[in-house]
Structure 1
Amino acid sequence: MTPSLELAGVALAADLARHGDRPAILTGGSVLTYQELAGRVAAFAGRLGTARRLVVLAADNSVGSLVAYLAALASGHPLILAPAGNDAAVASLVAAYDPDVIVRPGTARTPRTAGAAGDAWGEPALEEVRPVTNHTFHPDLALLLSTSGSTGSPKLVRLSRENVQSNAEAIATYLDISADDRAATTLPMSYCYGLSVINSHLLRGAGIVLTDLSVVDPCFWQLFRNRQATSFAAVPYTFELLDRVGFTDMDLPDLRYVTQAGGRLDPAAVARYAEHGRSRGWELFVMYGQTEATARMAYLPPHLAAAHPGAIGVPVPGGSFRIEPVPGLDDGELVYAGPNVMLGYAQTPADFAAGRTVTELRTGDLARKNAAGLYEVVGRRSRFVKIVGLRIDLGQVEKMLHRMGLQAACAGTDRKLVAAVEGSHDTRLLAKMLAQDLGLPRAAVEVHTVGELPRLGTGKTDYRAVLALGAEPCPAEPAAGATAGALPTTPAAPEDVRRIFTETLEIEDISDGDTFVSIGGDSLSYVAASVRLEKALGHLAPDWHVTPVRDLQARARPRRSRRRFVAPLETSIVLRAVAIVVIISTHVDLIRWPGTAHILMALAGYNFARFQLGGDRLPRLRRQLVSVARIVVPTVVFIGAVMLLTDKFHYTPLNLVLLNTMIGPAGWTDAWHFWFVEVLVYVLLGMMALLAIPWVHRTERRFPLAFPVALIGAGLLARYGLLGFDILHTRPVLWLFALGWAFARARTIPQRLALSAIAAVALPGYFGDPWREATILAGILLLAWVPALPLPAILHRVVGVLASASLYVYVTHWVVFPDLKDNHPVLAVALSLAVGVAYWAVWVRLMGRIKRY
């Protein structure tokens, strides 16, 4: 197909250079001027080519993603935005729309510390599917955004150049954005609200403080102050987080205004924040919009917010509302018209060629105009609710139940779905089935049995009565302006996450602000928690272990109803499970594959960096001691039991104090069975002692990557015998532990390449066994370069259990396999695994009872 000719792009992206040397992008340690940004955009546009092609961008809040976005807009390439980190969403869009180019974030990311210096800008990774497009594009088509997180085939909103430009101008006008403003990015740029913040500020030559830090992170507010940010955007849930972090007491001298959209904020909260802002010198802008209108349709003038907190306000400049009567209802449907109304929807690639099919937007919201001339949304015309960001058609849910032979009625809020079913049924089973089919968390679905469905006097179903079965009164004003594609307007209840943490760590008192790490989670409990969380929530971000309980549930993407047969599982978990099976199989002589124990040593360093280095020095030390105790106590208890009950194994008192590897006999005996545990404990205690020194603690904080690299250097001195002494009877492993630590801290490809080179150079000759050394190197490289491995979903639970129980399997297997290895090696391996898993399960339950007592 002949490609379309090159066309002018969206002006706000094409005219960046006119703002000269004003700061455009600011991060913790770097500033990019508009002139520099324009140069990068032009360079990337050159990579996209002059003939129009369909581009899919997996976007995050990084400079690379922003450059790619602006390059596509500036050079006229139709662009589909998708959230980075959601491989399933990207794959779905690629399968449905067949893009010509796929762009993913570069490896150099915006640092997660407010004061980090030397930020690398990170070149986006571009995958060219074909040099010439197979599609036909309408001349005005510029941007395609997802309408929501609904299940089924992707449905995109087709936006024109005028849509994007006019909405940015309207927003910049009513917010009075000037070149002196600086907006901090509190929302993903793949979300239309977050994108509108970027567009409106770039239009006026204002600065963007680019970050993916959460508002609950003190580093966000440090960055906000350091970069003199003047505004940030918030969804309703953000205000709950602001309450928790004491926002009203913060000193933010440059803050000029806060914007709110993404769903209806409780009027009491609107009034409270409006009054607080007025007393502190900043303004609250409550806004209303949908993706179909390029994000914004209305705003509430700040001086009216306190008096009319339930209103959505007035149309944005250039737009207008009318209320169309709805038969049988007192209130009519809100209809919007303006230059920002989409061209129409795209459900297949053939729709790219279509022109305007929509001239005004029927919002689906029921509205009225109050005495002050402000519009108020009072309900929804169609029976849709949005739960954890997922749009649910209540009528379709009723049809699902009807196909099961059930008479049912469904109601819901943005918190949960409530179904009433006639007759006697297993409500727990029905709720579970609905949750699975709809892709909702189990806690968000309630099913109640009734003698007969509640009816109004007219004979119609009484949906208010159905909703009342869930003990949650129907809101007087249903969620207004549920922006399509928005973040969840009301967070899912975090009880599921809290229960999993409680059962995994045996800790009862867990608050919304706690994280897995802060309540004592470590590498042993991480596996069990992550497998259960992924099953419960459907998605886990890489930083889930340092995410507050409430944020973790709110940020999670619901599972799709379609069950996947193969799904990714974190590489560190797979390595632990595989390593313990290989270790036992080797000891049983079923196979010969040495080296996996030393992979586990590198993995221990990797997990030490992830779980044991956060927080202040003394709390961190206490947490580290607890983690070491989880290794030492079950090991010593088992060794003591074996010594007490049998004399078959020649364990010594040195085993009970885990000192055999240091001061026991050098020759191999039964006493050497626990060398790995002993050496691991030595290394962990050594690191704890080192980091307990205040100046060392400060050094590690200041140089998070250089510190473990220095430890690698010290460890290599021992590895090559350059110290002149040896305190252990094993090969030195500190350098492997430090190498895993360093990989956990590496953030760029060059850093990981350098560490990989160290491993490749240092391993040859370590054992004098090329196969063993190659095994160790392969495991380390997998850990460093492959975040997750595809695995049949049916195996996830088994792998998770083996990984969780790996320490216990290692400790116990020595006494299980000897009598079976010669005649029944497979049984010996299976029984060794089973006994270790059983010991783990008993130990975890026992510790839980002790803690509760």
Structure 2
Amino acid sequence: MTFSFGQPNGAKPVPFARDLATHRDHTALITPTGEISYRELAERVTATARRLGPQRRLVLLAGANTADALVAYLAALAAGHVVLLAPGDSAATVDAFVAAYDPDVVVRQAGGAWSIDERRTGSAHTLHPDLALLLSTSGSTGSPKLVRLSHENLQANAESIATYLDIRDSDRAATTLPMHYCYGLSVIHSHLLRGAALILTDLSVADPRFWERFRAARGSAFAGVPYTFDLLDRAGFATMDLPHLRYVTQAGGRLAPDRVAHYAALGRRAGWDLFVMYGQTEATARMAYLPPVLATTHPHAIGVPVPGGSFRIEPAPGHPAGEGSGDRTGELVYTGPNVMLGYAETPEDLSLGRTVDELRTGDIARCTDDGLYEVIGRSSRFVKIFGLRIDLQRAEAALERRGVTATCTGDDRELVVAVTGAATPDAARVRRLTADECGLPLRAVRVHHFAELPRLATGKPDYRTIVREARAPGDGPLPAGTPALAPASAPASAPAPAPGSGVPDLCRLYAEILDRTDVTEDSTFVGLGGDSLSYVEMSLRIEQALGHLPADWHLLPIRELLPVSELRRPGRRRPGRRLRALETGVALRAVAIVLIVGSHIPVFMVQGGAHVLLGVAGFNFARFHLTSATRRERVRHIGNGVARIAVPSIAWIALVVLLGSGYDPENAVLLNSVIGSHEGRQEWHYWFVETIVYFLVALALFLSAPAVDRAERRFPFGLPAALAALGLLTRYNLPGFDLRVPHLSPVVVFWLFALGWAAAKASTARHRLLVTAVIAASVPGLFPDQHQREAIVIAGLALLVWFPTLPSTRALNRVAGVLASSSLYIYLTHWQVYPHLKDHSPLLALVVSLVVGIGYATAATRLMRTRPRAHRPGRHDRPTVRRVRDKLRAISVG
């Protein structure tokens, strides 16, 4: 059964898009909100195809891994329109394509909903009958150069891939790569062809939520570029229980042979296959694959041609790799039904038919005695880094336009820029220019100055010598001692970026607040070591700079924050007063510290704030310390968090012990809970600080164990839930400890910290209900005959579990932000402030206590930022899959 789309005259539908309904009630799409059958998908595609109209047109689609975007894409293919696929997360790239190709229809997300903008009723273009799809192939974002693909290209490559992967209608593949990237698109095509299901998601494989959804959807397949496999290591993939996983595919650049062999062996033990693949956008995605049975014995090979395709080796004697190697080594040339029609650089090129019959890959390869092909070099001026195909000549030309004379080379690891001339160049500037032009992270660009460029006897640049000398200082991506972004840091007194700030301004802001010198546009707050103490200040400064605080901003790369500032561009009307969102954790910290101080004076008597803050502390521990970083980086990060709490606390309490009375030396070293005399109430004033420090130190030791680290990554909710269960044993003091003040003892209150941790990792309603039920059942009785205090704790923690944000205003956000970021310091100092004022005016005592604490917070923060500190970029600062996706906007990769 097929649906009639009313195709325009002369239009050719793509068969797998036209025949969706033949798969009937099989599941087609699995979304965060539910499943969509092929029958339902076909009906939605039919409706959208009719909406696109009867005349064949050029349809620009801002791609995304969502049902709406996929429906629009399939509708255009099924109805015979020509699709220009652009990255949906880059408004600038979409605008560039609109300007360059003048599409008749633009389909994109606007205001949270998908819209079809018909720019004209007919078409402004002459579209060749065979043309179906236009994809970017350049390594530079927004380049007008496109690959022209036909209906036959799409269908043939989908059938070829589905054949060698043996895709079945029971398979369920996750969309781990962006739709506008040819590799990600090939996953969609091949699975829809066979009636298999797609798990639509844009989550990274480093995100525990991805694996929760993958397991819940009975995922059987996912695809990855080389960096994906680094993230899999960090996520504890080797120990994951994935009972339905059948195969994993790898492409998008060369994966190191030892990594291929490792993952092939891992798959064999776990019952899934690893398919290493090779291709380019010009071949509609795939040209070769390595059969899984050969992956451990031939990990260097790209394998054999895909079904329907063939290779030939054309001698390339001018290339060093080919000299003296015989006729089995040379440039790899591919022929098959998936070879593109040709390139397009202007709208007029859309009328062209086939201009190429075979694909010269630009790779130097050899055919082994086993009949397998192996790529051993490049014949043209291109390199692939992070899966990006970088045009070296274009990079050189871009630098020359900026007044920089340079020669570019490199390999799969990094781009090497050789700058020549008598004067020493500004290396940081050259790196930024190169990274921006090529779409690479800064850490993938190495700049080296040569007084005279090394050359061969022929006069050509000696690229091998350039790379060798550039790397002489070290083997990493940057020479030893070179900062990743210099000069990124700013003095502590530097003003916040103005509204409409650019990425460099935001980088300087991050460098200032987090005391880092390695901030790049790909950095995230969490990746740079941000914690709960700096979180509030950073959120306020970002909102001030951009006019809005994006959701999950602390997990987003800096460059992804910038589009929000378009609301504040000059010439645009600024929105009027409106409600803002205030994070619940920030609100609770602000309210709790006011309640704590006010109840101690007392101005009022509303207790329970400190125990709410224990839950908030656990919540923030999970958010800021339990990232996708390596085990050692996590432990180091926790250690930094301990220092940020302990150092200013010990400094203040030591001063109090020296100048005051009623405190013991044990207080100054935060050991009162362990070795204190416990004779008076005053010595317990700093129980909360001691408790948090104890918890962080204990958890740093706990998580330093490899087995525990793996368990946390595999069971992100289960581990804190188990710790909370253990904490309940000491909550009710079942071991029978001699406790003078039970509700202030760390062993008693740990379960609240663990519940806050579990709340942060609760990804389902069932998880949140479980945490809420434990809170409601275990808090009563902690404070005998103080029911209001218990109600405050239950209510505060319930808010934390169920409401990520609360409605607020801009002014209220600022007040709450200042109080929350200063809460530790207010708690430290208020004991020495309010006794001098409470008899005169309790309200004045409250206000002055808050002001003094805020003042100490400001002074302590500045002193902590000015202390000598060396930062080494951690492995977790590398680009995540999401970052790599964003760099794959206009590329050709295999």
Question: TM-score range with shorter-chain normalisation?
Answer: 0.5 to 0.7
Contact 1:286 1:299 in 2 (8 A): yes
1:166 to 131, 149, 156: 156
> Against the structure 1 CA distance between its residues 176 and 90, is the aligned structure 2 distance closer, same or farther, given a 3 Å change threshold?
same
Amino acid at match of 2:356: V
> Against the structure 1 CA distance between its residues 394 and 851, is the aligned structure 2 distance closer, same or farther, given a 3 Å change threshold?
closer
Amino acid at match of 2:437: L
Q: Which residue number in structure 1 is paired with residue 862 of structure 2?
A: 845
Alignment pair present for 1:447 and 2:456: no
Give runs of aligned pairs for residues 129-278 of structure 1, distance below 5 A.
129-151=119-141, 153-278=143-268
Cα shift at 1:335 = 1.0
String of CA shifts for 1:465-510, please: whole Å, max 9, x gaps: 11122217999xxxxxxxxxxxx9xxxx995699866752348999
String of CA shifts for 1:704-735, please: whole Å, max 9, x gaps: 9x99xx9xxxxxxxxxxxxxxxxxxxxxxxx9
Give secondary structure in 1 for the equivalent of 2:81: coil
> Against the structure 1 CA distance between its residues 532 and 259, is the aligned structure 2 distance closer, same or farther, given a 3 Å change threshold?
farther
Give secondary structure in 1 for the equivalent of 2:276: strand
Segments of 5+ residues of structure 2 without an aligned counterpart are: 1-6, 323-328, 490-506, 593-611, 625-640, 653-684, 686-748, 773-794, 823-853, 871-894
Q: Which moved more, 1:252-261 or 1:510-519?
A: 510-519
CA distance in 1, matches of 2:283, 2:614: 44
2:555 to 536, 543, 546: 546
Q: Which residue number in structure 2 is paired with residue 468 of structure 1?
A: 468
String of CA shifts for 1:238-297, please: whole Å, max 9, x gaps: 000111111111121211111000111001100111111112211110000111111011
Give secondary structure in 2 for the equivalent of 1:124: strand
CA distance in 2, matches of 1:610, 1:335: 63
Contact 2:428 2:485 in 1 (8 A): no
Alignment pair present for 1:24 and 2:35: no
Contact 1:517 1:545 in 2 (8 A): no
CA distance in 1, matches of 2:163, 2:537: 52
Give secondary structure in 1 for the equivalent of 2:282: helix
Alignment pair present for 1:412 and 2:402: no
> Higher relative contact order at CA 8 Å, sep ≥6: structure 1 or structure 2?
2
CA distance in 1, matches of 2:255, 2:269: 20
CA distance in 2, matches of 1:691, 1:14: 56
Cα shift at 1:82 = 1.3
Q: Which moved more, 1:496-505 or 1:289-298?
A: 496-505
Give runs of aligned pairs for residues 177-576 of structure 1, distance below 5 A.
177-329=167-319, 330=322, 331-387=329-385, 391-398=389-396, 408-414=406-412, 415-428=414-427, 431=430, 434-435=433-434, 438=437, 441-471=441-471, 503-506=512-515, 514-515=526-527, 519-520=531-532, 524-527=536-539, 543-546=552-555, 552=557, 568-569=564-565
What percentage of residue pairs aligned between the two structures are identical?
Answer: 49
CA distance in 1, matches of 2:224, 2:255: 10
Amino acid at match of 1:85: D
Cα shift at 1:433 = 6.9
CA distance in 2, matches of 1:75, 1:494: 53
Cα shift at 1:744 = 6.9
Cα shift at 1:154 = 1.9
Cα shift at 1:328 = 2.3
CA distance in 2, matches of 1:32, 1:60: 17
Amino acid at match of 1:428: A
CA distance in 2, matches of 1:226, 1:405: 55
Cα shift at 1:446 = 3.6
2:71 to 59, 67, 92: 67
> Against the structure 1 CA distance between its residues 32 and 376, is the aligned structure 2 distance closer, same or farther, given a 3 Å change threshold?
same
CA distance in 2, matches of 1:570, 1:92: 16
String of CA shifts for 1:334-370, please: whole Å, max 9, x gaps: 1111111111112111111111111111111111111
Cα shift at 1:426 = 3.3
CA distance in 1, matches of 2:106, 2:585: 31
Give secondary structure in 1 for the equivalent of 2:532: coil
Segments of 5+ residues of structure 1 without an aligned counterpart are: 109-122, 476-487, 535-539, 560-565, 580-592, 638-656, 658-687, 711-734, 746-754, 760-775, 784-799, 809-836
> Against the structure 1 CA distance between its residues 147 and 426, is the aligned structure 2 distance closer, same or farther, given a 3 Å change threshold?
closer
String of CA shifts for 1:778-832, please: whole Å, max 9, x gaps: 999xx9xxxxxxxxxxxxxxxx9xx999999xxxxxxxxxxxxxxxxxxxxxxxx
Cα shift at 1:179 = 1.0
Cα shift at 1:234 = 0.8
> Against the structure 1 CA distance between its residues 410 and 508, is the aligned structure 2 distance closer, same or farther, given a 3 Å change threshold?
closer
Give secondary structure in 2 for the equivalent of 1:189: coil
Contact 1:96 1:153 in 2 (8 A): no
CA distance in 2, matches of 1:427, 1:387: 23
CA distance in 2, matches of 1:450, 1:154: 34
TM-score (norm 1): 0.63
String of CA shifts for 1:90-143, please: whole Å, max 9, x gaps: 1111111111211124877xxxxxxxxxxxxxx732222122111111111111
Q: Which residue number in structure 1 is paired with residue 837 of structure 2?
A: none
CA distance in 2, matches of 1:203, 1:89: 30
Alignment pair present for 1:76 and 2:80: yes
CA distance in 1, matches of 2:32, 2:146: 34
> Against the structure 1 CA distance between its residues 62 and 437, is the aligned structure 2 distance closer, same or farther, given a 3 Å change threshold?
closer
String of CA shifts for 1:541-598, please: whole Å, max 9, x gaps: 9645125xxxx49xx69x9xxxxxx975276999xxx99xxxxxxxxxxxxx9x89xx
Contact 1:334 1:364 in 2 (8 A): yes
Q: Which residue number in structure 2 is paired with residue 771 of structure 1?
A: none
Contact 1:608 1:741 in 2 (8 A): no
String of CA shifts for 1:601-627, please: whole Å, max 9, x gaps: x55669769999999865226699999
Q: Which residue number in structure 2 is paired with residue 795 of structure 1?
A: none
String of CA shifts for 1:75-99, please: whole Å, max 9, x gaps: 1111111121211111111111111
Give secondary structure in 1 for the equivalent of 2:565: strand
CA distance in 2, matches of 1:275, 1:532: 51
Cα shift at 1:520 = 2.6
Contact 1:322 1:335 in 2 (8 A): yes
Cα shift at 1:308 = 1.0
Give runs of aligned pairs for residues 580-591 of structure 1, distance below 5 A.
none
Cα shift at 1:693 = 11
> Against the structure 1 CA distance between its residues 406 and 702, is the aligned structure 2 distance closer, same or farther, given a 3 Å change threshold?
closer
Amino acid at match of 1:385: V
String of CA shifts for 1:11-58, please: whole Å, max 9, x gaps: 101101111111111234511111111111111112111211211111
CA distance in 2, matches of 1:621, 1:744: 12
String of CA shifts for 1:510-562, please: whole Å, max 9, x gaps: 9999546973366533358869999xxxxx99645125xxxx49xx69x9xxx
Contact 1:606 1:742 in 2 (8 A): no
TM-score (norm 2): 0.60
Q: Which moved more, 1:374-383 or 1:615-624?
A: 615-624
Q: Which residue number in structure 2 is paired with residue 11 of structure 1?
A: 15
Cα shift at 1:386 = 4.2
Alignment pair present for 1:36 and 2:26: no
Contact 2:615 2:756 in 1 (8 A): no
CA distance in 1, matches of 2:757, 2:382: 56
CA distance in 2, matches of 1:610, 1:328: 68
Amino acid at match of 1:290: Q
String of CA shifts for 1:296-351, please: whole Å, max 9, x gaps: 11101111111111111111111111112224232421111111111111211111
> Against the structure 1 CA distance between its residues 689 and 405, is the aligned structure 2 distance closer, same or farther, given a 3 Å change threshold?
closer
Amino acid at match of 1:96: A
Give the alignment's Cα RMSD to 1 decimal.
5.6
CA distance in 1, matches of 2:468, 2:238: 35
Give secondary structure in 1 for the equivalent of 2:195: coil
Amino acid at match of 1:174: Y
